Amino acid sequence: MRWVLLLVLLAVTGCKKAADSKDTPKARAVGLVTDIGGRGDQSFNDSALRGLEAWAAGSTFKGGGYEPLTPKARAATVPAELRATVKPVPVRPLVVQSKVQEDYQPNLQLVVDQGASLVIGVGFALENAVETVAKQNPDARFLLIDSPVLDAKGTPLKLPNVRTVVFEEHEGSFLAGALAGLVAKDTVGFVGGMEIPLITKFEAGFKAGVLTTNPKARVLVQYTGSFDNVQHGKQAGADLVNKGAEVVFHAAGSDGSGVIQAVKEARASGKAVFAIGVDSDQSHLAPEAVLTSMVKRVDLAVWQAVFDLDRQAFSAGDVVMGLAEGGVTLAPVTLDFPGKAEALTRVEALRAAVVSGAVVVPSTLDALKTFTPPASQGGG
């Protein structure tokens, strides 16, 4: 029944797009399957959708269908430093949202059957499903975000029709931690979703950044155990604030919206605390509370794959995107705090040091144990 319903919904969306856009018959279909966080998570999935819908297709999803964006509106979704590179691509999005993990494989097959020239799986949780469907459909092309394809022993497996993209989240989180250490006096907090290697990369990088600029600061940590429960995130955020956290960084998907809400409410009550968002620039969720966000350019990875498809240059293989590749970065810091100019200068120096290889950021909590902060940057 779920398969039939999804097919009907997808067909309706496709028909509306075809009716609304004169150039749709020339546009290739590109399918995208979300993880259970889905559209509207203000973070990971929305970043992937932005790369396909706004950046590539120049459209916005509204009222069950697509409407074209004006050039000005589309440009507003693209960071200034990428506007000269990120150009529109003649594609038609086919997006299916997954509600439970059991949806992943049939949803991927669904968009293959709909004739998608490229099928995008958003999130590490889709790894097994992408492997299965890619093997069953060797003539289809796939993009898997946030995980390599792994064999039964956990060893990366290269498939001739799959491109995978992973990010150096620890590098971007290192900058977030460095900034948090410069803003806070003695306590910062980290909220993760599920306690898995992908998310502990954020924790390790964040702690290394704090250690670099404020080695005496406490780093309080909580995991919510989910990525799709805003209330869990709010509870975790409020708990860290009550324990004295002056900056709270989250890597928790939709749960992170709750973390930001908790910080927003704490600031409204008079507490001096900031939030740091993740994946997308989340300042719009609470402009008065979000100091910055550790942006993971899922949108860029998706757009690049679609662009390569259009110019017949799509290739399989494993891609890694860190600070040097523009895959992770910090969103603009718009809020004021004492010593802001000096702090941003120090963070930029650390960014350059990571890019040059002078600083190697730990990607695991075990590696963090032997991390030695660069002496010229410590002691914030």
Q: What is the DSSP string of 52-73?
A: IIIIIT-EEEETTEEEEPPHHH
Distance CA 252, CA 223 (A): 8
Same domain? For 230 and 313 the reply is no
Question: Is 372 buried (19+), middle (13-18) or exposed (0-12) by CB count in 10 A?
Answer: exposed
Residue 326 lies in a domain: no
Q: Are 306 and 52 in contact (CB under 8 A)?
A: yes
Same domain? For 157 and 39 the reply is yes
Residue 366 lies in a domain: yes
pLDDT band at 152 (very low <50, low <70, confident <90, very high): confident
Q: Are 344 and 316 in contact (CB under 8 A)?
A: no
Same domain? For 160 and 232 the reply is no
- Domain, as residue range, for 222: 170-295+338-377
Residue 60 lies in a domain: yes
State pTM to two decimals. Answer: 0.88
Same domain? For 73 and 156 the reply is yes
Residue 332 lies in a domain: no
Question: Which residues have C-beta within 8 Å of that of residue 136, sequence separation ≥ 6?
Answer: 109
Higher pLDDT, 18 or 75: 75
pLDDT band at 5 (very low <50, low <70, confident <90, very high): very low
Residue 23 has pLDDT above 70, yes or no: no
Same domain? For 124 and 261 the reply is no
Task: Report CA-CA distances (Å) from 172 to 52, 69, 159, 169, 363.
Answer: 23, 30, 29, 5, 11
pLDDT tens per residue, range 248-280:
999 999 999 999 999 999 999 999 999 999 999
Residue 279 lies in a domain: yes
CA 281-220-211 angle, to 5 degrees, is 80
Residue 17 has pLDDT above 70, yes or no: no
Strand order in the sheet with 317-321: 91-96, 28-33, 118-122, 142-145, 162-167, 317-321
Structural domain count of the chain: 2
Same domain? For 154 and 200 the reply is no
Could you give the dihedral angle defined by the CA atoms of residues 354, 358, 361 and 367, in that order, rounded to the nearest 10 degrees? Answer: 170
Same domain? For 200 and 312 the reply is no
DSSP helix/strand/coil, 136: helix
Same domain? For 285 and 314 the reply is no
Residue 330 lies in a domain: no
pLDDT at 32: 98
Distance CA 185, CA 217 (A): 7
CATH code of the domain containing 223: 3.40.50.2300
Residue 195 lies in a domain: yes
Same domain? For 58 and 190 the reply is no
Same domain? For 307 and 357 the reply is no
Beta bridge partners of residue 96, listed in sequence order: 33
Same domain? For 78 and 221 the reply is no
Distance CA 293, CA 275 (A): 8
Same domain? For 75 and 156 the reply is yes
| Closest to 201 measured CA to CA, from 227, 181, 171 | 171
pLDDT at 26: 67
Residue 138 lies in a domain: yes
DSSP helix/strand/coil, 255: helix
pLDDT at 42: 87
Task: Work out the average pLDDT over 44-49.
Answer: 95
